Chains A and B, each alone.
Chain A
Amino acid sequence: MSFLNVALLGGVAALLAPLLIHLLNRSRFQVIDWGAMHLLESALQQNARRTEWKEWLLLLIRCLIPVVLAVCLARPVLTSFKVANADGSRGIVLIIDDSLSMSKAARQSSVFESAVSTCREIVTHYRQTETSLWTACASVDVLSGSSSSTAQLQSALDGLQVSSGSMDPKTCLADGIRAAAELRNPSRHIVLVSDFLARDWNDLTPGELASLQTQLSSGEFPIHLTFLDASQIDDRTRSAPNLTVRFVDEFQERVQPSEQNMFSVEVVNFAARDQRDLELVFSVNGQQLSRQSVDVPAGGSEQVIFACEFTTAGWHSVQCQVEDPTGLVGDNTAYRMVQVGNPVEVLLVTGQASPGFDPQSSFVQLALAPFGDEEQNENRFRVRTIRSKELRPKDLSSVPDVVILSGAGQLNQSVSESIAELVEAGTGLVVLPDEDLDTAWMNRAWFDARRLLPMAYGSVIRPEQPLPLLQAPIQYPYLDVFDDGQAGDLSRWRFRSWRELTPGAEQEQQTGDSPKRDSPRVLLQFADGSPCLANGAYGDGVVHQLAISGSSRSSNLPSQASFVPFVQQLTRSASGSSGNGNLLVGQPLDFQLASPEGIGAADEELKPTAIELVPFRKDEADIPASSTTSKHQVPVAELRAQFDGLYQAGLWSARPAVESDATVAPAWSVTPPMLAVNPALEESDLQPLSGTQLQSVADALGASVVSSASEFISQLQVQRDGREIWRWLLVALLVLLFAEILLGRNLHPVNVP
């Protein structure tokens, strides 16, 4: 057994008090010369033995009361429970908050530098300790395990830098708990070194706190959580002033050359006083384009609009920087990538028998080209409509970016083969079936034989009530704009009928040399769980297979505001572009690798195995391959690369990874080739949790709050691992007090005449 407050054990000496009172009482009595001694002795004989042991018991209880109270206050810990280590060794998971707010300047250095310095002190003090080092923002295990030496840990700490992301306490603590649970040492500690911003922590619900607390305490061994406040703020009730700027986001379309573009920028002032004549600098491709002054009220925001025109096709970067000498530096610039190019060429194949309005395809055509003849140039898609019966292979000679089959009937064999070859070469394919679809032909031609479609079509489904979509994030390039509702609300869609999409019976034999089909990816589902939109790759092309048509008979899609952006984004996604290159820190991204002309996609020897992300510079070609600072590599599989996210704001270039001993053709292109990563806005609000709030959160999690490494070390010195038993002692104390009252009244009755 050990004690958390050893000094309070001195209170055990209080047991002398009842002893002294007892001895004093023994010497304080009256003397009476008594006559009826034989009667007294007779009564004494009857009572003496019983009274004597009761007196001793009462004395024992009175001595025990201060002893138990002192031991209880000393917070004893039964080390024999749970923990077997007697050498005092521990396992520590150090979590450093590397969110943007940590870059705030403190007294002599930044808060992050102070946090790293604190961690360095802890690592140095606990040399033999099994230590795991985590960063809170990206939840990255920097270094872990007992094998890591102090030097390795110090080196890892030296390499840490502040990210532009925000900290999610729930994820960060859950990761820490998982890491602590994997420690071999049963004495486990998590130290979270952070500035504890209110924006990060106030979102935690009591239920989430309780869940985390349960995770901390319910493992095989309890995990001790310590909040190490690295903010170096004397008064946690005051917020630090800060300014930030961001592009007001609408989903970004591909713009056309020589077209006037408007960029709306919002400047947010987190300071308690107004900011006047703030200088905003707007730059395109690193060149300053214009400047504007703006006044921003305290705690408010102001929007500013910049106009610019791109003369050349391709990817262009746009930046807007606000002057903020006192606040964070990392959130003073907003970044934007803009893709400039010609309209997407779309071949819309319809099943209509004669020219005129076709409910199956006309809505799709309108959605892609909503502007009339006079404003034809405003359309982002150049749509050529043709009836399926009239479609000939020569119509496909001018290679479209996307082929859309909307209610198209059976195609002849040559056309069908031509479309499959186009898709394999990189053209996108979107299939919208109608109720008259010849599923037997389509499944045989494009699912079983060519494996062009990701899924097979089945029968028509008609639910009793119109069904909505299943609410779930799409997380697919271009379509992810519907996740946060910025491009429209898909939840209002209702479907009366659709074609069933099934994985189909895989055939072992594969016809010809058609590309191998990947397992289909279901992007949208109906509320009953059946697929609505499936996606697959076929060669270099992308196939979007829908279970619905564009008709107003089977759904309310055409009447919904989100219909136009949905069709456009779906088409744009199929056109081969992969993502628009605009991200928030930590946002995942899919890259697409495109082969250069003359090299087949299947040429494994020449295909790059990874995509490299480096900070963008104007003289990008000058960056040496060995310059690995802030460089990220993403492995490529099937010409695609999934990246978890970048945690440094700014402009980034994506290119095929260059290995020194490999002969990789530089002509391989990555889409998107550039990324604009913007910092998390919530980190710009530097209002910290107040001391009371921080303690409240700590109490809810059973954590302790310290403000320095030395305080943490001294806390651990008095902390032992095992089971605290003060609650039981408190119960014992109450029982003793109750027994004392009962026995006292029995031995010393009050009602004597």
Chain B
Amino acid sequence: MPSGRLIDAHDREAIAQLQFFAQNVVEGISAGLHRSPLQGASVEFKEHRQYVRGDEIRSIDWKLFGKTDRLFIRQYEDETNLRAMLLLDQSGSMGYRGSRSPLSKHAFAVRLAACFATLLISQQDAVGLTTSDERVRETLPVRGQPQHLRNLFHYLVQSQPGRETGLAQTLRQVAPRQKQRGLWVLLSDCFEQIESLVAALRSLRHAGHEVVVFQIWDPDELDFPFRQKTEFRSLEATGQHLVEPRVLRDSYLQRVREFREQLDLALAAERINLIACTTTQPYSEVLAQFLARRRNVRRDNAAGARR
């Protein structure tokens, strides 16, 4: 439970809504899946677990089925312990919500994180959460119990954007605490120095973690549609600028293109998945994109192992 703040009725309702929303999304995306996309790879048997739709048929323990007339899956040590840490950026810039978006980037990230956690827990995997801005705000350890999901939602609901970004610093703080290898999911706009961010993520990769970065954009940030004279005030309280948007537009869009290209190249060099999305995209589409990427990674890994 987050320290210093009790859960209230509003939070509860928000949590319930978030839970409902996430389950809907996850159920939709899990339909038709025959195999858990997040399954670990190990030979050391750990336990059985009940078969759920989507598990591979070959993993069913047919002997136990013969004894108990129920379907169980044989699970191995690592397979049961896919540990995913969701790192939610709640810096001020994540609070931007454009005129064409139903949600701010932060709200979008919260929902995406909820979906992600729900998906993982439903796969019997463990998930944790860290919220941060200029420093780490809340940390929820990685757990696999279904009730853990509620705590996680509670943290998500409590999360509010507003401070400056310190993603690289946060990663350096949080990374050493995760001894076991796992999956790091970064939900952020990545509005930070690319070098320092990539350096922090590189250290995660060196520690054996898999890293996925969801870069969340508001459509306004991508096409800069403003016409009249505008004073842009920083959401991170770093200043303000009165500009003529029509004059600045070309230059701004050029800078956006450069920024995205640089980030893409830098992360690709570290074999870090970058999934750029906008707040108007469907969550399922984003998750499907993630799952497809992940499958590709597993196939690549398997091919590498056979060689």
Contact = CB atoms under 8 A, between A and B. Distances in A.
Interface residues of B, number: 40
5 contacts: A34-B96, A36-B189, A39-B256, A47-B247, A749-B246
B95 A47 contact: no
B241 to A, nearest CB: 6
Contacts of A35: 92-96, 105, 189, 191, 218, 221, 235
B230 A752 contact: no
A147 to B, nearest CB: 71
A33 B230 contact: no
Contact of A39 (B218, B231, B259): B259
B108 to A, nearest CB: 12
Nearest to A34: B232
Interface residues of A, number: 28
Nearest to B94: A35
Which 4 interchain pairs have the tightest Cβ spacing? Answer: A35-B96, A35-B93, A43-B251, A34-B232
A598 interface: no
Interface in B239-260: 239, 241-249, 251-252, 254-256, 259
A32 B225 CA distance: 12
B228 A40 contact: no
A321 B233 CA distance: 103
B161 to A, nearest CB: 9
Interface string A20-58: 000001101111111111111111101100010001000
A44 B243 contact: yes
B228 A33 contact: no
Contacts of A29: 228-231, 242
B95 A37 contact: no
A747 interface: yes
Given A29-B231, A51-B244, A38 B191 contact: yes
B96 A30 contact: no
Given A44-B241, A752-B227, A33 B95 contact: yes
A158 to B, nearest CB: 76
Contact of A753 (B223, B239, B243, B255): B223
A32 B233 CA distance: 6
Given A752-B227, A753-B223, A37 B244 contact: no
A46 B256 contact: no
Contacts of B189: 35-36
Interface string B144-170: 000000000000000000000000000
A556 to B, nearest CB: 92
A747 B244 contact: yes
A394 interface: no
A43 B246 contact: no
Contacts, number: 102
Nearest to A746: B247
A752 B191 CA distance: 26
B230 A36 contact: no
Nearest to B189: A35
A32 B247 contact: no
B51 to A, nearest CB: 45
A36 B232 CA distance: 10
Contacts of B229: 25, 28-30
B123 to A, nearest CB: 33
A38 B225 CA distance: 18
A560 B106 CA distance: 121
Contact of B234 (A34, A42, A749, A753): A34
B236 interface: yes
Contacts of B96: 33-36
B244 A31 contact: no
B236 A40 contact: no
A618 interface: no
A33 B233 contact: yes
A243 to B, nearest CB: 81
A748 interface: yes
B221 A30 contact: no
Contacts of B221: 35-36, 39
Given A35-B218, A37-B238, 14 more contacts: A29-B229, A30-B229, A33-B233, A37-B93, A40-B241, A40-B252, A42-B255, A43-B248, A46-B251, A47-B248, A47-B251, A747-B244, A748-B247, A752-B225
Contacts of A44: 241, 243, 248
A743 to B, nearest CB: 12
B247 A747 contact: yes
Contacts of B93: 35-37
Contacts of A46: 251, 255
Nearest to B230: A30
A33 B189 CA distance: 16
Contacts of B65: none
B226 interface: yes
B226 A748 contact: no
Contacts of B231: 29-32
A37 B234 contact: yes
B32 to A, nearest CB: 37
A43 B255 contact: yes
Nearest to A749: B246
